[in-house]
Structure 1
Amino acid sequence: MPIKNMKTISLCMIVKNESKVLRRCLDSVAHLMDEIIIVDTGSTDNTKKIALEYTDKVYDFEWINDFSAARNFAFSKATKDYIYAPDADEVLNEENQKKFKLLKDALIDDVEIVQMYYVTPSSNNTVQNAKKELRPKLFKRLRTFTWIDPIHETINTTPIIFDSDIEILHYPEGNHSKRDFSIFIDSFKKNKTLSNKILRMYVKELYKCGSDSDFLESQEIFLHFIDNTDCFKEISCALAHSYRILKDDANFFKYALKDFATDACSEMCYEIGLYYKEIKDYSEAIIWFYNCAFEVGPIIDVEISGRLAFYELSKCYQKLYDLSRPRNEEYKKMIDIYKAKGDEFKLPETL
């Protein structure tokens, strides 16, 4: 009986100034790898020195504000069957190291991509709408193509993806959103094009951690794409948000009302609720925050239809309570109900 050959794995990582976390990451995965390739994009600390403790395959790559270019360079240096692509701030704990070893022992040629759960602390979550989400992390280095269908035959271009139960713990040192926003903007200025996927990620990051200035900087980009994109609703929300910041009522309602020409979403109800709260029409704001929480669903950030909507409802009822003479005890009851709902809100485990 033939002996199954265990698959070999190249670790390919891009780094820059990761001296605080790199050793922690490599200690958790190095023993599972058959090759370690580290590409440095301009470190000024001792990142490269630490990398050389684990491998002699450390390369320099000039940073051009493009993660794909750096990762493609790293992948080009790989020689093993599969490529594992971690970031320096990721860790596999002991339980997930065992799962990874079992996966490596059982991996078959047919599998081309392995997804693993990505787990990020809430304080550093810039895009996730769940406590953990599946992401592609292990890739077959060389892909073979086969013909399919007995007639009108074609090449099978759909990869075979395996969803593992491995959990990668993501412990970033800080929030990289400012860096990411600059890359979105730089890419647009260079090419005047962004994919629908990237546009959606841009909106998600803005809603998770963007400042007023970040939203205003995005306005030119979203106006460029608004009439020619599949993520029309997400972009409309971001534009309504930016015009609300500018107190431009005409353009705010121009984009807010576009959402109601199709199916409404929680985020736009939230924007309208904030508009009425800002002009101190708290009763009207409550209607929209209630719709946000209970009548429609989110398309960008699940917390907007949960924790954030509940807290805004509580705040609006607090304003009505403070203004009521005599004090309206029904308002007081609603303050407590929605404050409790906000405190109890938890991200779903997975989507």
Structure 2
Amino acid sequence: MITVSLCMIVKNEEENLGKCLKSLQGIVDEMIVVDTGSEDRTVDIAKEFGAKVYDFKWTGDFSEARNYSFSLATCDYIYSADADEELDEDNRQRFIRLKKDIEELDIDIVQMYYCNQLSFRTVYNYDRELRPKLFKRVRNFRWEDPIHEQVVIDPVICNSEVEIIHRPKENHAERDLSSFRKAVAGGRRISKRLHGMYARELFMAGKDEDFILAKDFFAEAVKDSTRSVDEIKEASCVLAHVAVLQKDAEALLKYSLKDAATEMCSEMCCELGEYYYGKEDYDEAIVWFYNAAYECASIIDIKTGKEIPRLALAKCYKALGNEEQAADYEKEAAEIEKGE
């Protein structure tokens, strides 16, 4: 059977860490916990479970901390976990079977299902998705092809049936948004993936001031010819929201047209609806909220195509004195939210 090193980075996780480590007992063969500055009982709890605890001075870079934790592993495979994750008994048994099944296979990465995302308004729009979680610690390179041979560089990835339950106790948006701003200020280019996550974090948990602070970055992204269409649309949505906050009709027109150059998204329709609602032009606001709900798709926040515009329609009809229509939209929004 393969051996597994648990590698974690933590800070002030006394509410979560015990449940996480307990659910992994009997599965992992060593526990490595890298602490980035806890001021609570996190370190004590880790030691109670027999974990090897290391200190790491926080640099604002999660990759640096995770790479350090991986460097300390000694087992065949590395399991990467966060403190707010846990396995129930069914998935503990699946994990144990998995350790036996891949012993004879040359697997580099095992993906597992990450679950329970929508319940906590995280930056992910999926409630259950496969993520790489188990990594071969030492990768053996081999040659392939009988002629014009080359080294195999693509990792061998397999999907498992293990489901990891995500139970965050707090929202990390403030921390994450600060990290985004630090990366941008340091001159680092934000990847396409992080560009989308920055926009999503803003729409799901950002305050007005967070949008304002992000304005310059996304304004540059819109003008960057190397950015993809998706990134331009994401940036345009952020900038349209800023325009609504600042009551800048010219900027709102500019960025809504950039989005409309392709198929308009629900986020942009909601921004237009909010602009007209603020102008007390409720009939025009209804047009855009209706489009957000029924005619367009979301690209950043899935809720902008679901309950958000329906609740906005309800407030428009209330403003017009149509309580019956408002109640219908409120009911529909509640049913959608319950269904998720």
What is the one-letter code of the residue matched to 1:18?
E
- Whole-Å separation in 2 of the counterparts to 1:142 and 1:134: 23
Secondary structure of the structure 1 residue equivalent to 2:24: helix
Q: 1:163: how far off?
A: 2.2
TM-superposed CA distance for 1:239, in Å, is: 0.9
Counterpart in the other structure of 2:213: 217
* Larger relative contact order (Cα-Cα within 8 Å, sequence gap ≥ 6): 1
Q: 1:240 Cα deviation (Å)? A: 0.7
Of 26, 35, 42 in structure 1, the residue corresponding to residue 37 of structure 2 is 42
State the distance in 2 between where 1:333 and 1:151 align: 75
> 1:156-167 maps to which residues of 2 (within 5 A)?
156-167=152-163
Distance in 2, matches of 1:114 and 1:160, equals 9
Q: State the partner residue of 1:183.
A: 179
Shift in Å at residue 177 of structure 1? Answer: 0.5
Contact 1:30 1:36 in 2 (8 A): no
Q: Is 1:249 the equivalent of 2:249?
A: yes
Normalised by the length of structure 1, the TM-score is: 0.90
Per-residue Cα deviation, 1:235-286 (whole angstroms, up to 9, x for no partner): 1101111111111111121111110112211111111111111111111111
- Quote the Cα distance in structure 1 between the aligned partners of 2:124 and 2:338: 9
- CA distance in 1 between partners of 2:263 and 2:144 (Å): 39
Q: Which amino acid aligns with 1:98?
A: Q
Shift of 1:193: 1.5
Tell me whether 1:337 sits opposite 2:333 in the alignment: no
Equivalences, count: 335
Distance in 2, Cα, partners of 1:56 & 1:306: 44
- Separation in 2, partners of 1:75, 1:93: 25
- Structure 1 distance, partners of 2:4, 2:53, is 17
> How much does 1:307 deviate?
0.7
Aligned to 1:130: 126
Determine the structure 2 residue equivalent to 1:299. Answer: 299
Distance 1:283 1:100 in 2: 55
What do you get for the CA RMSD once the two structures are aligned?
1.9
1:33 counterpart residue number: 28
Q: 1:23 aligns with which of 7, 18, 35?
A: 18
> How big is each residue's C-alpha offset from its partner over 1:197-218, in whole Å with a ceiling of 9 and x where there is no partner?
1110011111111111111111
SS, match of residue 39 in structure 1: strand
Tell me: CA distance 1:151–1:337, structure 2 relative to 1, closer, same or farther (3 Å): farther
Q: AA paired with 2:333?
A: G
The aligned residue for residue 314 of structure 1 is: 314
Q: Output the CA distance in 1 between the equivalents of 2:144 and 2:24.
A: 37
Residues 116, 135 of structure 1: 8 Å contact kept: yes
Amino acid at match of 1:40: D
SS of corresponding position for 2:242: helix
Tell me how far 1:69 sits from its aligned partner: 0.3
1:66 is the counterpart of 2:61? yes
| Counterpart position of 1:282 | 282
**Contiguous gaps of at least 5 residues in structure 2:** none
Paired amino acid for 2:283: S
Aligned residue in 2 for 1:3: none
The residue aligned with 2:88 is 93
1:14 aligned partner: 9
In structure 2, give the amino acid aligned to 1:132: R
Match of 2:123, as an amino acid? V
Match of 2:200 in 1: 204
Contact 2:16 2:83 in 1 (8 A): yes
Structure 1: gaps (5+ residues)? 1-5, 323-330
Residue in structure 2 matched with residue 120 of structure 1 by the alignment? 116
Normalising by structure 2, what TM-score? 0.93
Change (3 A) 1:347 1:192: farther
Q: Does the C-alpha gap of structure 1 residues 146 and 248 become closer, same or farther in structure 2, counting only changes over 3 Å?
A: same
Kept in 1: contact 2:78–2:137 (CA 8 A): yes
Paired-residue identity, %: 47
CA deviation string 1:70-121 (max 9, x = no partner) = 0000000111111101111111111211111111111253322222222236
Residue identity opposite 1:195 in structure 2: S
Q: 1:347 to 1:127 in 2, by over 3 A?
A: farther
Measure, in 1, the Cα distance between the counterparts of 2:51 and 2:337: 44
Cα distance in 2 for partners of 1:317, 1:215 equals: 28
